[in-house]
């Protein structure tokens, strides 16, 4: 039978409209209108892909370096276990129960639980935090891609400390270069998001996640076998030194726990909406947290031995990865190859995270407008890119655009999203899931987790919200 293009188009439209109607206001559907992960493993890859990113390889090591090593790591692990994992479970659960973008999922779940529709603020704040994070994330990820090119071409072979610092300053001081690489990275992110859940997101994590773990193991072995300072690196990471730790370190550790697990902004909730029914949420969340923490610690095990072996400073701050590390690779045998591997690893990790930063807003646009996935992704991505220009220019043209405390646009985006919006979103998610979500919903989602339910409930009701609150108060006073 011949079907004309017009007929086909009308049919597609009708299905879309039906799906859209279904998407609004219905609960406990077995599928999301956006598509589904093909298996539990693919959900784990996707969520771990979101979690493992610049936060693990760039941010965690430099924060640990600045905040006394072991004692920071201890605080961070405490936050992951007591606050992070319970909220991770809550986000997956809300997503899978709502099967829509976080904003709409919160609307229907609040309604079904007789709670105020104002709880959709969780979704709105999350989308805002997503844009803010992506604004600086895209810039740093762009640097990492640029460093792949630099490493391959041998620009860092034998480089001295001053030259490495100058090379970094020259690069970040050039608005065209920084914006160019940020644009390239964002274009990649948008392209993947535009292809949808199955052909875009899942296809990406299916290949990049195994590759990422493999590269990381190779680098740990390299660090262990060639630096002669592996034990010094381990000691630094795991031996607490309380002198360098302050209340500010505590809030940094908590902010980092949220950031690294992608919590508090709906990314995991959005991904949870595509998770198949019938598998344990607690087990899945624990797996994701272990993978994420493992990658952060392994990154430390790659970086610090290299830093110490070359007599460099561990407390270099954000420049640790972009100045200190290239010097170290530049002095090491095989540094050109392994340095390239390192920055490829960072770029892979960044892309599997940035697609999750975009997803909550893209899903919402698909549900609320007639734009469709591809145009929705482009629209949302362009907004994030535009905001990102502010972060990109913070290192050059806009270096003087600072607040009275000296923070530039980039610093403000980083600080407000990680240390305020994510923990605040986390408190609200914990309160809603722990106290307000209807028991039916909860039982339906945690059917496979009856054993863990009481512990999870206790942590989510009391420990997570109070923990975040206390850290907030300690910081303010």
Q: How many CB atoms lie within 10 A of CB 297?
A: 20
Interface pick for ligand PFF out of 146, 179, 351, 357 (rule CB under 6 A): 357
* Distance in angstroms (rounded) separating the CA atoms of residues 314 and 312: 7
Binding span for ligand PFF by CB under 6 A among 207-215, 258-266, 323-331, 468-476: 258-266
Q: Which is nearer to ligand PFF, 213 or 397 (CB)?
A: 213
Q: Which is nearer to ligand PFF, 144 or 442 (CB)?
A: 144
Q: Contact between 353 and ligand PFF (CB under 6 A)? A: yes
Q: Contact between 122 and ligand PFF (CB under 6 A)? A: no
Interface pick for ligand PFF out of 23, 49, 53, 255 (rule CB under 6 A): 53
Q: Contact between 133 and ligand PFF (CB under 6 A)? A: yes
Per-position b or e across 121-131, b if 16+ CB within 10 A of its CB: ebbbbbbbbbb
Q: Contact between 262 and ligand PFF (CB under 6 A)? A: yes
Interface pick for ligand PFF out of 55, 123, 305, 388 (rule CB under 6 A): 55
Q: How far is the CB of 312 from ligand PFF (least distance, A)?
A: 24
Q: Contact between 465 and ligand PFF (CB under 6 A)? A: no
Binding span for ligand PFF by CB under 6 A among 53-61, 111-119, 314-322, 398-406: 53-61
Tokens 């505590």 belong to residue = 250
147 with 326: CB under 8 angstroms?
A: yes
Q: Contact between 80 and ligand PFF (CB under 6 A)? A: no
* Distance in angstroms (rounded) separating the CA atoms of residues 320 and 285: 30
Q: Contact between 265 and ligand PFF (CB under 6 A)? A: yes
Q: Which two tokens stand for residue 433?
A: 């899931």
Interface pick for ligand PFF out of 76, 147, 259, 385 (rule CB under 6 A): 259
Crossing angle, helix 203-226 and helix 230-238, to 10 degrees?
110
What is the residue-wise DSSP string for 11-48? HHHHHHHHHHHHHTT--S-SS-TT---SSHHHHHHHHH
Which residue of this chain has its Cβ atom nearest to ligand PFF in the complex?
A: 55
* Distance in angstroms (rounded) separating the CA atoms of residues 45 and 274: 13
459 with 465: CB under 8 angstroms?
A: no
Binding span for ligand PFF by CB under 6 A among 48-56, 105-113, 140-148, 443-451: 48-56
3-state SS, one letter per residue, for 422-465: HHHHHHHHHHHHHHHCCHHHHHHHCHHHCCCHHHHHHHHHHHHH
Q: How far is the CB of 405 from ligand PFF (least distance, A)?
A: 24
Per-position b or e across 330-341, b if 16+ CB within 10 A of its CB: bbbeebbebbbb
43 with 197: CB under 8 angstroms?
A: no
Interface pick for ligand PFF out of 56, 227, 299, 331 (rule CB under 6 A): 56
- The residue among 475, 473, 259, 235 whose CA lies nearest residue 357 is 259
Q: How many CB atoms lie within 10 A of CB 43?
A: 24
Q: How far is the CB of 229 from ligand PFF (least distance, A)?
A: 26
DSSP designation for 3: -
Q: Contact between 138 and ligand PFF (CB under 6 A)? A: no
Q: How far is the CB of 55 from ligand PFF (least distance, A)?
A: 2
Q: Contact between 51 and ligand PFF (CB under 6 A)? A: yes
Q: Contact between 94 and ligand PFF (CB under 6 A)? A: no
Q: Which is nearer to ligand PFF, 182 or 356 (CB)?
A: 356
Q: Contact between 391 and ligand PFF (CB under 6 A)? A: no
Interface pick for ligand PFF out of 120, 260, 299, 391 (rule CB under 6 A): 260
Q: Which is nearer to ligand PFF, 121 or 224 (CB)?
A: 121
Q: How many residues lie near ligand PFF (CB under 6 A)? A: 15
Interface residues with ligand PFF (CB under 6 A)? 50-51, 53-56, 133, 259-260, 262, 265, 267, 353, 356-357
């Amino acid at each position: 039978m011949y079907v004309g293009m017009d007929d086909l188009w009308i049919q597609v439209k009708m299905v879309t409209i039906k799906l859209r109607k279904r998407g609004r206001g219905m609960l406990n559907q077995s599928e999301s209108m956006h598509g589904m992960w093909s298996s539990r493993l693919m959900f784990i890859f996707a969520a771990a892909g979101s979690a493992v990113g610049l936060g693990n390889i760039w941010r965690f090591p430099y924060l640990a370096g600045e905040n006394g090593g072991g004692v920071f790591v201890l605080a961070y692990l405490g936050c992951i276990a007591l606050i992070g994992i319970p909220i991770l479970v809550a986000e997956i659960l809300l997503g899978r129960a709502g099967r829509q973008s976080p904003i709409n999922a919160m609307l229907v779940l609040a309604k079904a639980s007789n709670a105020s529709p104002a709880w959709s603020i969780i979704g709105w704040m999350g989308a805002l935090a997503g844009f803010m994070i992506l604004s600086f994330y895209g810039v740093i990820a762009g640097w990492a891609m640029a460093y792949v090119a630099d490493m391959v071409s041998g620009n860092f072979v034998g480089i001295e400390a001053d030259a490495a610092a100058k090379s970094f300053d020259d690069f970040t001081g050039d608005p065209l270069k920084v914006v160019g690489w940020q644009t390239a990275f964002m274009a990649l992110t948008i392209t993947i998001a535009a292809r949808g859940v199955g052909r875009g997101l899942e296809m990406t994590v299916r290949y990049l996640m195994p590759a990422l773990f493999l590269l990381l193991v190779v680098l740990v072995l390299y660090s262990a076998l060639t630096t002669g300072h592996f034990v010094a690196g381990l000691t630094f990471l795991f031996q607490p030194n309380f002198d360098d730790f302050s209340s500010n370190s505590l809030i940094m550790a908590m902010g980092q726990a949220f950031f690294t697990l992608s919590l508090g902004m709906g990314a995991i909730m959005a991904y949870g909406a595509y998770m198949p029914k019938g598998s344990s949420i607690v087990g899945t969340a624990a797996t994701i947290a272990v993978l994420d923490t493992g990658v952060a610690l392994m990154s430390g095990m790659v970086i610090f031995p290299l830093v110490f072996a070359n007599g460099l400073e561990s407390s270099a701050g954000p420049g640790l990865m972009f100045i200190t590390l290239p010097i170290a690779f530049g002095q090491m045998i095989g540094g050109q190859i392994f340095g390239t591997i390192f920055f490829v690893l960072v770029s892979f990790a960044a892309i599997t995270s940035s697609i999750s930063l975009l997803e909550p807003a893209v899903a919402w646009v698909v549900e609320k407008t007639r734009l469709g996935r591809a145009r929705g992704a482009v629209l949302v991505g362009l907004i994030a890119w535009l905001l990102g220009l502010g972060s990109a220019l913070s290192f050059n043209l806009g270096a003087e655009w600072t607040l009275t405390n000296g923070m530039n646009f980039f610093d403000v985006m980083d600080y407000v999203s990680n240390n305020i919006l994510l923990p605040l979103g986390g408190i609200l998610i914990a309160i809603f899931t722990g106290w307000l979500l209807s028991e039916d919903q909860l039982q339906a989602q945690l059917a496979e987790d009856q054993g863990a339910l009481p512990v999870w409930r206790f942590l989510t009701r009391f420990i997570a919200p109070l923990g975040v609150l206390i850290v907030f108060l300690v910081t303010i006073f």
